[in-house]
Amino acid sequence: MKKTKWIILTIIIACQLIVVLDASIMVTAIPQIGRALQMSATSLTWVQNAYILPFGGFLLLGARAGDLLGRRRMLLIGIGLFSLASMLAGLSPTAEFLLVTRAFQGFSAALATPAALALLSASFVEAKERAKAIAMYSAVSAGGGSVGLLLGGFFTDFISWRVGMFINVPIGIALLFMVHRFIQQTGTRAGRFDLGGAIVSVFGMSALVYGFVQAADRGWGKPETWISFAAGIVLLAAFVLIESRAAEPIIPLRLFANRQRSGAYLGRFLMVGGNFSLFFFIPQFLQNVLGFSSLEAGLAFLPFTVAQFGMMYLIPGLVQRYGNRKVLMAGLLLAIIGTLWMSRIVTVQAQFFPQMFILLTIMGIGAGMVFQPLTVLGLTDVDPQDNGAASGLINVAHQSGSSLGLAVLISVFHVAVHTDQPSKMQFAHGVSNAILGSVLFITAALVATLLCFLPARQAFRTSALPEK
């Protein structure tokens, strides 16, 4: 791989890393944020979802903007706004200000991320180079969350949770310089923005997430809970209608015509729905039940992180020998086994070593085997004019799965706990139930991929894109 390509790949991976980190870097700081800004346990979930929802909801608009205005330009705009939003979030004097700036961060990330992935697809066209680049990108996308836990814990214990936001500023400035220096200007073309579709999709997903949070906070029988669910369903149905009629939709529905692509999007949505929630619940269990500090809770995820990143180097060989399909299925099975076992040992008597250590390693290996095949399959047979939309849709599935999965499993947790001030035993019971819910999400991902991929007659090859 040429030196310039390595630099471009470094820029893309660094950009992806900071936006993925910010989905989890606040998790180990949640107890401190709650005390500093006087936020309740339920409202603290919005520290995550305020970032994830606009990130996922505006990704397709960001992808469209990259197609029309130029991907290099949108990458520069996205990184610049993300750096500004991060600085403001770090300065937050109130809970409301923090949530608004987190949403601003998410919107900015939605502009940068699809541009970065589309630039990767355009820069690496040779099969082996693209496979290697996608493997590295997928490892960062999947493993960045656990790195965020570690960094967030370190900053929280030794400096302040606010540093987790401030650190994005110098990184963003460095990335702006490197993008300007090493990435050439990309083409633009005439077209229209599907702003209505983007806004309806964001409000639809937000209404569903809000419904689950309301159910956890006030109960399933409250009218506002079901009104929120109904609004979410109606808005998402309206979104599909808008996309089917729009001259230039942010999601061309033809992307779902390929069964493998559809399975990859659905499988990613469900896998992340179960997997991301572990980053929220397990650190809370380690701190609130086992007495870990914020840093110790972040360090506890090192087995997961090391295993997941380690798979980055093994995946190309495994795919070459066994094919994407078998590697994907094996990874999902390992993730299910590790997560199910974890749900059984999360008690007040739990010991981190060796049980949780071993299981986090197994879960990390499983996750590390899943995301590269899903990324590859999500870009299968995409027409050049749809590269941006397909890249955005991969990330939409990732972020939407994160937000909805977390909202669902927080509701499961609160139903099991029945109180705002749970004892250690009650807290452990709630976390155990939530992790069991993660198992159901990942199992559903396995079923979805089986249904979409097993009937296919072709074998997946070592190339970055499966053959027809």
Tell me: the pLDDT tens digits for 108-167?
Answer: 998 998 888 788 878 887 877 887 887 788 778 766 777 888 899 999 999 999 999 999
Instruction: Record the tokens describing residue 310, joined without a space.
Output: 């380690």
Positive or negative, the CA dihedral 439, 441, 446, 450 is positive
User: What integer best gives the mean pLDDT of the chain?
Assistant: 86
Identify the three-state secondary structure at position 249: coil
Q: How far is it, in rounded angstroms, from Cα 325 to Cα 459?
A: 8
**Can you give the length of the chain in residues?**
468
Cβ pair 346, 240 in contact under 8 A:
no
For the full predicted model, state whether its pTM sits above 0.85.
no
Q: Which residue is listed with tokens 């949108």?
A: 74
pLDDT at 434 over 90: yes
**pLDDT at residue 88 tops 60:** yes
Residue 1 — pLDDT band, cuts 50, 70, 90?
A: low
Q: Give percent of the chain above pLDDT 90.
A: 39
Q: Is residue 352 packed enough to be buried (19+ CB in 10 Å), middle (13-18) or exposed (0-12)?
A: middle
Tell me what pLDDT residue 462 has: 42
Asked: is 3-183+248-453 a CATH 3.30.460.10 domain? The reply is no
The rounded distance, in Å, linking the Cα atoms of 367 and 278 is 12
- Model pLDDT, residue 190: 67
Each residue of 305-338: pLDDT tens digit?
889 888 877 888 898 899 888 999 999 999 999 9
Single-letter residue type at 75: L
Diameter of the chain measured on Cα atoms: 62
Where is average pLDDT lowest: 28-32, 212-216, 233-237, 268-272?
A: 212-216
Single-letter amino acid, residue 92: S
Q: What's the distance, CA 87 to chain centroid?
A: 22
What is the domain partition of the chain in residue ranges? Answer: 3-183+248-453, 195-247
Measured CA angle at 126 (ends 386, 265), to 5 deg: 40
Residue 233 C-alpha from the chain's centroid: 22
Dihedral in degrees, nearest 10, Cα atoms 421, 426, 428, 434: -90
Closest to 89 (Cα-Cα) out of 3, 26, 177: 26
Contact 170, 47 (CB under 8 A): no
99 vs 105: CA distance, rounded Å: 10
B/e letters for 155-166, b = 16+ CB within 10 Å, e = fewer, are bbbeeebbbbbb
Residue pLDDT, tens place only, 96-108 = 999 999 999 999 9
Q: Which of 387, 388, 395, 343 is nearest to 371 (CA)?
A: 395
Q: By C-alpha distance, which of 84, 16, 1, 11 is closest to 391?
A: 16
Average the pLDDT over 8-25 and give the result: 88
Gyration radius of the chain's alpha carbons: 21
